[in-house]
Amino acid sequence: MSFEKKIDLNYQRARQSMVEEISSKGISDLRVLEAFLKTPRHIFIDGAFSSRAYQDMSLPIGYHQTISQPFVVARMVELILKGNIFEKSPLGTILEIGTGCGYQTAILSNFCRKVFSIERISPLAERAKANLQSAGIKNYLIRCADGSLGWPTFKKFDAIICSAVSNNVPEPLIKQLNVSGKLICPVGNEKNQNLVLIEKKEKKEIIRKVLDPVLFVPMLPGIVNEDKVKK
């Protein structure tokens, strides 16, 4: 067996162990587990942390940002898929706030025609594009913009996922959510945060549910261009 094949086999075994772990923690949607099983998380992580790529933990990706814990990503994805009109069919479009390294984008790409993703730090946006290309993902569009304002050109989405915490769910995001769509966002401060699930039943009928305690980096305003942020 070649060295490269041995490494790939080791990663496959590590992915399987990770999927078994998040399943044991309560993720039951087989589609979600399958997406995690086939997505190479190590591609999205700096080499220094490759040995921990398939541990159920967040890891630094530079610029004071992290790749989210696999269980938390799986939990959010499962929530937007469960119990609505999209459960048995693909979503049309998903808006992701906080592209980061692109791993969650890759996971989401399994469940919709296209992922629209916003990253405020331009070097991370470019890195995510390279990572997604390496992973063979094609159905996405990344923009460097202020995620709290929603997609730069007004557009409606079947689901919206935020990967950064805000004091409140940004109103522009609620406006960009389709009727029957779901939005999930961590809400709180640096010490106390919970996932908040929003379901838009009708144009003016919004249902909010406060769910699991989590820990995310803050959702900050504006954009950060190359050389204007410390790694």
pLDDT the model gives residue 231: 53
- Asked, for residue 35, whether it belongs to a domain, the answer is yes
pTM above 0.85, yes or no: yes
Q: Which residues of 114-127 are buried (b: 16+ CB within 10 A; e: fewer)?
A: bbbbbbbbbbbbeb
- Asked, for residue 228, whether it belongs to a domain, the answer is no
Structural domain span for residue 48: 3-213
Q: pLDDT per residue over 141-156, tens digit each?
A: 999 999 999 999 999 9
Tell me if residue 182 falls in helix, strand or coil. Answer: strand
pLDDT the model gives residue 171: 96
Q: Which two tokens stand for residue 17?
A: 């162990």
- Asked, for residue 38, whether it belongs to a domain, the answer is yes
All residue ranges of the chain with pLDDT < 50 are: 1-6
Domain count, the chain: 1
The residues carrying an active-site annotation are 68
- Asked, for residue 229, whether it belongs to a domain, the answer is no
The span from the CA of 223 to the CA of 120, in Å, is: 4
pLDDT the model gives residue 88: 59
